[in-house]
Structure 1
């Protein structure tokens, strides 16, 4: 199994997808009215597809967001994003060394200050995910993705190449409600992976399978031990 997608619910997938493609320098994979996909390839490291799908409705408070690498060019990067359509956002962050912005649909993202652990991440420095038990969830996501634990102030995972974004498990400000996360992660099975064995492994590690009434889908939907939704996609044929 491997981490394949960062999926974002959007009112206007094409508009939001093109914004993020410009932000990360991605390569267009799908450009349709209801779906937009762009690929971020990290040299010597992982490939992450950013997928934008039409899902109407007001977004709940985010439990997963994007931290962008700013570093010594933080001010220039903030100005570039503002020019692309981002705006400043106050989430009560106070006096912090990073800059909080909102994308064109209001999803928070942060442009980070200079940090040694952001070396070789590429444009996305980190994917912070809310967790009720960060050590437990780090073990869960490490098993699910094959990413490894690396030093960090919070439990942190990274692709074994030690390139690409960090997956950071953050203490949740409040328990997960019933509303679906606006951003979630997809994992892809590889040849030889048994879907039922994977399902059993997810449940054994504290996750659970979700069965929404969305018709017959080729993937299976789960929640991690803290309730964050994720999808397990079939192996490529």
Structure 2
């Protein structure tokens, strides 16, 4: 299995997808009214597709967000994002060494000051995910994605190449509510992976399968031990 997609709910997928494509320097994969996909390729590291899918209205506040690398030109990068359509956002962050912005549909993202751990991440420095048990969830996501633990404070995972974004498990400010997370991650099975074995492994590690009532889908939907939604996609033929 491997991490394939960052999926974002969007009222206007094309508008939001083009914004993020410009932010990360992605390559367009799909440009349709209901779905926009762009690919971020990290040289020598992972490939991450950013997928924007239409919803009729925004859902719950996100438990997953994007931290962006700025490099030495921090103020210039903030100005670039504002020119693309972002805006400043106050989430009660106070005095911090990063800048909190909202994308065109209000999803928060942070422009980080340059950090040692951002070396070789590419434009996305990190994907912070709310967790009710950070050590437990770090083990869960490491098993699910094959990403490995990075030494340090907050439990953090990274692609085995040690390139690309960090996946940070952060103590949640509040338990997961009933609403769907507007950002989630997809993993892809590889040839030889048994979907039922994967399902059993997810449940064994504290996750659960979700029944959505959306009819037959080619993928299966789960929640991690903290309730964060994720999808497991079939192996490519």
Per the normalisation by structure 1, the TM-score is 0.99
Q: Which residue of 2 aligns with 1:84?
A: 84
Q: Which residue of 1 aligns with 2:214?
A: 214
**Over aligned residues, Cα RMSD in angstroms?**
0.5
Q: Deviations over 1:3-52 (max 9, x none)?
A: 00000000000000000000000000000000000000000000000000
Report deviation, 1:71: 2.9
Query: Partner of 2:76: helix, strand, or coil?
Result: helix
Q: Is the 8 A contact 2:11 2:58 kept in 1?
A: no
Query: Partner of 1:71: helix, strand, or coil?
Result: coil
Question: Where in structure 2 are the equivalents of 1:183-222 lying within 5 Å?
Answer: 183-222=183-222
Q: Which residue of 1 aligns with 2:93?
A: 93
Query: Partner of 1:30: helix, strand, or coil?
Result: strand
Write the distance in 2 (CA, Å) between the matches of 1:137 and 1:79.
Answer: 35
Query: Partner of 1:230: helix, strand, or coil?
Result: strand
Write the distance in 2 (CA, Å) between the matches of 1:34 and 1:110.
Answer: 26
Matched, 1:9 2:9: yes
Q: Which residue of 1 aligns with 2:24?
A: 24
Report deviation, 1:57: 1.7
Write the distance in 2 (CA, Å) between the matches of 1:24 and 1:131.
Answer: 26
Q: Which residue of 1 aligns with 2:169?
A: 169
Report deviation, 1:227: 0.1
Q: Which residue of 1 aligns with 2:123?
A: 123
Q: Deviations over 1:33-77 (max 9, x none)?
A: 000000000000000000000012233111000000013111110
Query: Partner of 1:72: helix, strand, or coil?
Result: coil
Write the distance in 2 (CA, Å) between the matches of 1:77 and 1:55.
Answer: 29
Question: Where in structure 2 are the equivalents of 1:136-147 lying within 5 Å?
Answer: 136-147=136-147
Report deviation, 1:152: 2.6
Report deviation, 1:99: 0.1
Query: How many residues are aligned here?
Result: 237
Write the distance in 1 (CA, Å) between the matches of 2:102 and 2:59.
Answer: 13
Q: Which residue of 1 aligns with 2:42?
A: 42
Write the distance in 2 (CA, Å) between the matches of 1:38 and 1:56.
Answer: 21
Q: Deviations over 1:76-105 (max 9, x none)?
A: 100000000000000000000000000000
Q: Which residue of 2 aligns with 1:114?
A: 114
